[in-house]
Amino acid sequence: MNLIVIGEPELVLGNGTRNNALNEILQQYINYNKSVTYISSYKYDCDFLHKNVRYKSVSNYTKDKRYILNEKYEVRKFFKSLLENKEIHIQFRLPSLYTLQIYFMIKDLLPINKYSFYIAGDWKLSLKFNFPKKKYLYLILPILQDLCIKNETCVFTGKALMDKNNHLVKRGFSFYSTTHTYSDVPNNYKSKFNETSICFIGRLEKLKNYNFFLKLANTKVLSHYHFHLLGDGPDKVIVEDFIKINEIKNVTLHGHIESRTLFNNIIDQCKYFVLPSYTEGTSKTLPEMMTRSTIPIAFKEVGANDFILGQGNGHLCDVNDINSVTDFINKVDSSELAYNDILSSCINYAKDYSLDSQLDKMFGFLYEK
């Protein structure tokens, strides 16, 4: 098939999208398709090839100009030309206001059984946390998304999300997203038993609950650990102020890290990874940290966390339970045997749920191989 992927992360001219994980996944899609084209937005028209994936901007969608329905004529003209190719499959990646608008503009042009939806998370919860005062957003947009996926073929990031929406769709598949391949998983873990660093990786917004990580860093019991915040976002200034006001000395706010070498150097120091998000689909960072011999910690009943960490390969706690996390870290720090058992389980999970094995199943489902 010639795969067309439509998604929210905007283009970075000559370098794919702003989402590095998505770039890596799109490159893996090439192994299952004749060609892969990613369609999103940019400040002006662009069309380029990066690592065998074609990136094309359609419409001028930005954070300041989110509504593009007035560009309907140009969008439909582009897709009419694109759909002349009969060996095509279109993947609409949701939740996304951009993708939603594109879908409604071209819905009547879509060939039967030649498109599907990829649902990456719970939109209602996401909007509710990030825009608590804009009630109309988390009431209306999820309803519009439900109208899109009703009686359609959908890939969901994890069984929990699929079970929540299975009554709507014609066919559903639970996909455990990651960016690591089977060959990335070491046969044996690298011991970091004596390391004293903990990391957070994610966008600095309310939904990601960075406050939990900062409060963890501010506990006396973990004062000997250094905490690395890797990410940028709208709440960066709030984070900086919190660190300054509370005089937290053991936190480094790195912002968004472009250099893979620098990123790797930081992760190599980290014994634990904390994912305090209030909502997730399937977190890619949990299995990625397992391949790096970094023990993951996350909340129960959030996305696919229970499935991913339910095999003794990390720690699950109730939402915002600081004591549970500090108790777990102290317990593991006091027993190298317990530490080794957890990392062994991490390696086993990472091998069983690598990106290549998951994509084999996903494209088998989509193309009914």
**223-255 confidence digits (pLDDT tens):** 999 999 999 988 999 999 999 998 889 999 998
E strands of the chain, at which residues?
A: 2-6, 35-40, 47-50, 53-57, 88-94, 115-119, 153-156, 171-174, 197-201, 226-230, 251-255, 272-275, 295-299, 315-317
Helix (H, G, I), strand (E, B) or coil at 369: coil
User: Cα 247 vs. chain centroid, distance in angstroms?
Assistant: 32
134-138, 253-257, 299-303, 358-362: range with lowest mean pLDDT: 134-138
Pair (159, 220) in one structural domain: no
Can you tell me the mean pLDDT for 258-275?
Answer: 93
Q: How confident is the model at residue 283 (pLDDT cuts 50, 70, 90)?
A: confident
Instruction: Work out the burial of residue 181: count CB atoms within 10 Å of its CB; fewer than 13 is exposed, 13-18 middle, 19 or more buried.
Output: middle
How much of the chain, in percent, has pLDDT values that exceed 70? 100
At 369 the pLDDT is 57
119 lies in the same domain as 228: no
Q: Could you tell me if 26 and 98 lie in one domain?
A: yes
> What pLDDT, on a 0 to 100 scale, did the predictor assign at position 123?
80
The predicted structure's pLDDT at residue 121: 85
- Helix then strand then coil, in percent of the chain rounded to 5, is 45, 20, 40
Report the C-alpha dihedral over residues 218, 222, 225, 230, rounded to 10 degrees.
-50
Shared-domain flag, residues 207 and 238: yes
Cβ 9 vs Cβ 22: under 8 Å: yes
* Residues 186 and 175 both lie in one domain: no
pLDDT digits (tens, 9 = 90+) for 51-62: 999 999 998 877
For residue 204, what are the domain limits? 182-352
**8 A C-beta contact, residue 152 and residue 127:** no
Q: pTM to 2 decimals?
A: 0.84
Statement to judge: residues 26 and 64 lie in one domain? yes
Could you tell me if 289 and 361 lie in one domain?
Answer: no
User: Is residue 227 domain-shared with residue 134, that is, in the same domain?
Assistant: no
pLDDT given at position 177: 87
* C-alpha neighbours within 13 Å on the C-beta side of residue 347: 15
Neighbours of 226 (CB within 10 A): 18
Task: Say yes or no: 143 and 200 in one domain.
Answer: no
Cα dihedral: 27, 28, 30, 36 (round 10): -50
* Count of domains for the chain: 2
The model's pLDDT over 115-161, given as tens digits with 9 standing for 90+, comes to: 999 999 888 877 777 777 777 777 788 889 999 999 999 999 988 89
Cβ partners under 8 Å of residue 134, min gap 6: 127
190 shares a domain with 150 = no
- Is 282 found in the same domain as 137? no
The confidence score (pLDDT) of residue 196 equals 96
Average pLDDT over residues 311-336: 96
**Whether residue 101 is found in the same domain as residue 239:** no
Which tens digits make up the pLDDT trace of 175-224?
Answer: 998 989 999 999 888 899 999 999 999 889 888 999 999 999 999 999 99
Ranges 168-177, 234-243, 254-263, 270-279: which has the least confidence:
254-263
Predicted confidence (pLDDT) per residue in 2-22, tens digit: 999 999 999 999 899 988 889
The CATH number covering residue 276 comes to 3.40.50.2000
